[in-house]
Every structure is written in C-alpha cells, then in structure tokens.
Structure 1
Amino acid sequence: MHGDGPAGSPQGPAGPPVCYRHPGRETHIRCTRCERPVCTDCMVSASVGFQCPDCVQAGGRTVREARTIAGARVRNTDGSAGATGAVVTKTLIGLNLAVWILVLVVGDKVVDRFILLGRAVVGGQWAGIAEGEWYRLFTAAFLHQEPWHILFNMFGLWMLGPPLEAMLGRVRFLTVYLVSALGGSALSYLIAAQNQGSLGASGAVFGLFGAALVVGRRMNADLRPLIALLVINLVITFLNVSRIDWRAHVGGLVVGALAAACMVHAPKNHRVAFQVLSIAGIVAVLVGIVLFRTSQLS
C-alpha cells in the first residue's frame, strides 16, 4: 500500500505522484506553497524551491501595484504598467503647435479672440475677461505669434514635461500644467493694465519649473542645475519686462510649486481626496483673484 499524498494531490496508481496538470507525468517535485506535485514543464522557480502556476498567479494578485511618489500608477513607455511615454507632454506640444499654425494662417483674428485681456475695445466693442470672457485665462496659454516664443516654450515643456509626467502621473501632471497656466493668467490679470494683452505657455512652463523643484526636493535630487536654469530664465524675464509678461511667469512658478507640493506631500491615507481638495482650494483662490479684479474693472 502507498501512503496518501497531501489533500488534492493526484497520485499515480503504481505509487509515484503525478503532475496535477498533466496526470500522465510522474514527478517527485512538489509546490512549496500548496504541496501539489508538478512536472518540470509546470514548475516555476521561487526563492525557495518551486511553485505551481496557480500559486504563482495567486501570489501575483496579492502584490501591491507600483505607484509613483504622487500615487499614480507606474507606466511603461508603451502605456502599460512601468515611464509614461510622455503622452500628455507630446499632446500639449502638438496642441500648441497646431494653434500657432492656425494663427499664422488666420492671423490676428485668432489672437484678438483668445489673448489674455482684462478689458479693452476690440473691433469696436468691449472685450476681455472683465466682460465675461473667462476662457481667455486658458486659451492665452496656447497662443504664440513669434517663432522664437513658441520655440523656447516648447523646448522648456519638452525638457521638463516627460520626467514630471513619469513621476506625477498623467492626470496629476496635466492638472499641475493647467493650474499653473491659470495661476500665471490670474496674476497677470490682477496686476497688468486692463488693456495690456498677454499670451504664451510661459506661465505653465514656469509652473513646471516650480513643480520640478518640489518633486526633486521630495526625491532628494541634486537641484543645482535646475535652479541655475530657473535663475537664468528669471533674469531674462526681468531684463525684458517690456516684451515679457513677468507676472505670468511668477504666477505660474508659485502656483506650479504649490500644486506639486499638494501632489507629492499628500498623506498616503486618503491621498486622492487630499490632492483633489488641495487643488480645488488653489483654484478657488485664483477664481477669487479673478472675481476681485473683475469687480475693479467693472
């Protein structure tokens, strides 16, 4: 007589156990987790001994999914779980380029319609944010006219975007970008003359500078090259205040840093709720600024 094997373990009629997946194959190898016999084709190497395919699959379901420091899923370059492939960054660059080409083809009509403008007479009638055209707070961030302007902004977006997108995740990265653009527009609207126009993605790009500093600090990275580059850009900004809207740059920088801080310093418990509420708070403050300025101009 032959002794019984573990519960659920198939056993050959002549004695040696057989693989639970291939009843015709005798084997003396057992899974270290469930102790079922497995043949050489089914066994999977483990840290200690071998495991059966079912136990490996069950173990995989219990492994915690990899997350970024902001809580987003880690993705591969193909979009599956591992770097992001910079999908959002590429889309933003493509959108900016498309609008720039539209401006070249159509001309000033597009600029007059979507530029950041407090309140002024355009085409014989009043126009601007104070006249209810709030969309200008965002559309201006996608407008460019001079080739050098879009070249520098898209270079900055391409340099800062992919690593931030990988570390924050697509949705959080896009949120930081758009909130930074809103922050730059809000400060420009608050301080600039009501008939002074402003356009360009600079506010959003400076927001990515601020976000990169916060994320780099969180990861204990060497920030000296990034700080040097930011200082150079700020010097260029304030040396050309007659041509560059410094308010949009500063506003985007501050808001981008605050938004990123809300992302990477959120508590692990209720992290998403904290991030959503924090960003909502930032947006509420910016909306308050816009409402205050509108009341002045109205």
Structure 2
Amino acid sequence: MSEAPSTAPVCYRHPGRETYIRCTRCDRPICPDCMNEASVGHQCPECVAQGKRTQRPARTAFGGSGVGRAGYATRTLIGINVLVMLASAAVGGGRALFGAGGLGGLIGSDTSVTRAGAVLGYASYTLTGPMHGIAAGEWWRLITAMFLHYGLLHILTNMWALWQLGRYLEAALGPVRFTALYLIAGVGGNVAAYLFTAPNQQTAGASTAIFGLFLAAIVVNRRLGLQIAQLVPLLVVNLVITFSIPNLSIAGHLGGLATGGVVAAVLAYAPANRRATVQAAGCGVVVVILIVATVLRTMSLLGS
C-alpha cells in the first residue's frame, strides 16, 4: 500500500523543503535559508527588498543625507587640493613646495599654475604684457583660488583644518549641503579679496573656505544646543594669526568667515516644513550678492 503524499507546505523558493514558517508580510512559506528576522516574525527575501525600496533614507537634523557620515565630500575636496598642489610642484619645482623666503623659507613660491588661478584684480605679468585678472574676464579665479596653495606648509595646515571641520560638518549637513557651504564660503572670501585687495596683488588658498567652516561649526552647534567652548578659542587664534603674519589675506579670511556664517545660518535655521526650498533660495541669494559685488568691482577697475 502506497504512502499518502505529504500535505505539509513547502518553501516557495525551494519546493523540496517542507516548512511551517510563513512570511509575516506576504504569508508565503519560507525555509530557514529564506528567513529574514523582522520586528515581528520573519520575512521573505522579496518582502525585505521591497521594504528597503520604500523606506525613506535617513536624514540629518538639517535635511541632509546620512551618507555624509562617510566623509566622501571632505575627502574629495582634500584630494582636489592635493592634486592641484602636485601640478603646481611639477611645473614649479622644489621651490613651489618650500624655500621661497616667507616664514623663514617655509612658504613656497608662485608658479604658472598659481598665477593662472589665484585671485588677481587687474594687472599685467610684465610691463608690456596683456592685462590679466578677474576684471580682464578671468572670472574662474574666484573658484580656482580656493584650491591653490603656496608651498607645503600652506597646504598642510589648510588640509588638516579641512579634515577636522569638514568631516564634522559633512556628517551634520550631508554631503550636498556641506559642499555648497564650502564652495560659497570660498567664493565669498575670494570676492572679498577682489574687493579689498590691491588689484595687482595675488591671493590664493583654501583658508577662505575654511574660515567659513569655522563659523559654520559654531552656528551648527548652537542650533543643536551643543557646546562651542572649544570652537571659539580656535577661531580667535586663527584670527590673531591672520592679523599678525604678513602677506596673509585678511580680506579673504574675513570674507570667507562672514559668508560661511551666513550660509550656515540659512542651512541650520530653515523651517522644517519647507527646509529644502528655503535653503536653496537662501544660498541663491548669497551667490547673487557675490556676483553683484564682483560686477561692481570690475566696473570700478575698468573705469566704467
């Protein structure tokens, strides 16, 4: 006499395996290899995948992506600065890194890379050569200058500060908002250098953006109700250095500081119900103001 066929349910993915466990979402039978522990019972692989697709990604207190905790934007910015420094050293030789005379020989000399990308108002490289600078249409200098450095000490100090401040702010704001903060603060400092520095004087360095990060960290901590006792003295020390050491761009540092503070306030205090719109509009207004200031300065230098 033959045995009656088994009536036990089988796993929907493995028909040869009997099981009495079912997915709590779709009620399909699942074997131990297909079980995914859930808050209640177990779920099948398809329901787990569907749940991940419909789950909203984690956001920071300021609306940014949680991906910022990995620090990808900070690492990318540091990488760009290092690559540009290597390019400058490749064309300028050893003196591009150190030995040019500033700070006891610790500051490097300028190179064709820095001359082409530093903030320069309106001047000629030679007595009879053509005019160069932002007023001559070389507007890219307002952006490229924040990625240029005069020597190894210059870039090392700036990249150390960017590593410390950048990772914290990127985790708090998210990579997109942090990158916008960095770039707008850097441009703001370069615009200030363009406005208040002699038109034949070159300035460059990531410090315009980094000073913006200093004040941004204070603004973010205040918004979150965190301590700022360690940040304020650090900012004060950097301001003292700015005013004490010759040839540092006071206008650039203060401009980056002010711009970074304003952008950080926009990002941190935007109302939650329309946060992204207010943040984008606020940053846009800051950019427009910087453009208008640049145009007015250019008209002044050209005598229009």
Contact 1:73 1:169 in 2 (8 A): yes
What CA distance in whole angstroms lies between the structure 2 residues aligned with 1:38 and 1:136?
62
1:235, CA displacement in angstroms? 1.2
Paired position in structure 1 for 2:299: 295
Q: CA 1:17–1:207 in 2, change beyond 3 Å: closer, same or farther?
A: same
What CA distance in whole angstroms lies between the structure 1 residues aligned with 2:122 and 2:183?
23
Paired position in structure 2 for 1:6: none
Paired position in structure 2 for 1:259: 263
For the residue of structure 2 that corresponds to 1:37, the secondary structure is coil
Paired residues, what number?
Answer: 281
For the residue of structure 2 that corresponds to 1:25, the secondary structure is coil
Query: Which deviates the most, 149-158 or 98-107?
Result: 98-107
1:233, CA displacement in angstroms? 0.3
What CA distance in whole angstroms lies between the structure 2 residues aligned with 1:283 and 1:75?
26
Paired position in structure 1 for 2:105: none
1:55 aligns with 2:47: yes
Q: Could you tell me which runs of 5 or more consecutive residues in structure 1 were left unpaired when the two chains were aligned.
A: 1-11, 77-81
Paired position in structure 2 for 1:207: 212
What CA distance in whole angstroms lies between the structure 1 residues aligned with 2:48 and 2:116?
60
Q: Could you tell me which runs of 5 or more consecutive residues in structure 2 were left unpaired when the two chains were aligned.
A: 97-109
Contact 1:89 1:162 in 2 (8 A): no
1:176, CA displacement in angstroms? 1.8
Paired position in structure 2 for 1:84: 71
Query: Which deviates the most, 189-198 or 101-110?
Result: 101-110
Amino acid at match of 2:67: R
Determine what percentage of the aligned residue pairs are the same residue. 46
Aligned with residue 118 of structure 1, among 104, 111, 121: 121
Amino acid at match of 1:54: E
1:96, CA displacement in angstroms? 4.1
1:185 aligns with 2:208: no
What CA distance in whole angstroms lies between the structure 2 residues aligned with 1:199 and 1:15?
78
What CA distance in whole angstroms lies between the structure 2 residues aligned with 1:91 and 1:108?
20
Contact 1:93 1:157 in 2 (8 A): no
What CA distance in whole angstroms lies between the structure 1 residues aligned with 2:219 and 2:281?
19
Aligned with residue 164 of structure 1, among 166, 169, 191: 169
- How is 1:208-227 mapped onto 2 (pairs within 5 angstroms)? 208-227=213-232
What CA distance in whole angstroms lies between the structure 2 residues aligned with 1:212 and 1:99?
31
Contact 1:99 1:143 in 2 (8 A): no
Aligned with residue 173 of structure 1, among 173, 178, 191: 178
Query: Which deviates the most, 154-163 or 15-24?
Result: 15-24
Q: CA 1:136–1:56 in 2, change beyond 3 Å: closer, same or farther?
A: closer
1:288, CA displacement in angstroms? 0.9
1:31 aligns with 2:23: yes
Aligned-residue Cα RMSD (Å) equals: 2.7
Contact 1:31 1:52 in 2 (8 A): yes
Q: TM-score, normalised by structure 1?
A: 0.81
Which deviations, in whole Å up to 9, do the C-alpha atoms of 1:99-143 show, x marking residues without a partner? 441463385444443332222343124332223222222232233
What CA distance in whole angstroms lies between the structure 1 residues aligned with 2:150 and 2:252?
17
1:253, CA displacement in angstroms? 0.9
Aligned with residue 280 of structure 1, among 278, 281, 284: 284
1:152, CA displacement in angstroms? 1.7
Query: Which deviates the most, 184-193 or 170-179?
Result: 170-179
Contact 1:88 1:174 in 2 (8 A): no
Paired position in structure 1 for 2:86: 98
Paired position in structure 2 for 1:140: 145
